[in-house]
Amino acid sequence: MPFANLKVPADTLTPESKKKLIDAVTDAYAAVYGERARATTLVLLEEVPDGGWGLGGGILTAEMLGRS
């Protein structure tokens, strides 16, 4: 079973954009593994709260990423 775990900043995706992202990832797996993989492809979107990201030992916030 193909599995993708995508972590995204919280509150940055609409329900429609989540669907679009899940569809795109599923399509990518199907393109590689064939259509037989589509029905068993699992895509998990995890929304990470502000301040829950780190890079190089530092905490990234929405303000630092230009989202505030």
Q: Which of 2, 9, 15, 49 is catalytic?
A: 2
Instruction: Respond yes or no: is residue 15 known to be catalytic.
Output: no
Q: Are 46 and 7 in contact (CB under 8 A)?
A: yes
CB atoms inside a 10 Å sphere around CB 13: 16
Output the CA–CA distances (angstroms, integers) from residue 11 to 39, 53, 55, in the order listed.
Answer: 28, 14, 20
Active site residues: 2
